[in-house]
Amino acid sequence: MNVVKENVIRLSELPTGKQAVIDHHDDSDFQLTLMEMGCIPGEPIKIEMIAPMGDPMAIFVAGYYLSIRKKDAEKIWVVI
C-alpha cells in the first residue's frame, strides 16, 4: 500500500522565494550527481531565481547557490 504524503511537490513547482525540504529524488542516472551537489533528503532548499524563459533556475541548498535545469528540478521532490 502506497502512503501519500501531503504537501510533497516537485522542486520545479515550488514558487520563487519559498523554502522547502528535500524529500526524495526520482530514480535516475542523475540522482547521484544531485546528491553530490548537496541535494540530499532532509536538506532545506529554496528557489532564488528563475530565468525569464523558465530555465535554468537558481536554488540555494547546502549553503551555496546552484543553477539547475528545470528538467532536473522535476526529479527532486520537496515537502512544503
Residue 4 banded pLDDT, cuts 50, 70, 90:
low
Long-range pairs of 40-47 with CB within 8 A, sequence gap ≥ 24: 44/19, 44/20, 45/11, 45/19, 45/20, 45/21, 45/76, 45/78, 46/17, 46/18, 46/19, 46/20, 47/11, 47/14, 47/15, 47/16, 47/17, 47/18
Predicted local confidence at residue 2, as pLDDT: 52
Which CATH fold would you assign to the domain 8-79? SH3 type barrels. (2.30.30)
pLDDT at residue 5 greater than cutoff 70: no
Report the pLDDT value the prediction gives residue 57, as an integer from 0 to 100.
94
Q: Please report, for the chain, the start and end positions of each structural domain, with discontinuous segments joined by +.
A: 8-79
Reported as a single tens digit per residue, the pLDDT across 24-57 is 988 877 788 888 888 889 999 999 999 998 889 9
Give kind and range of the element (H or E) at residue 50: strand 44-50
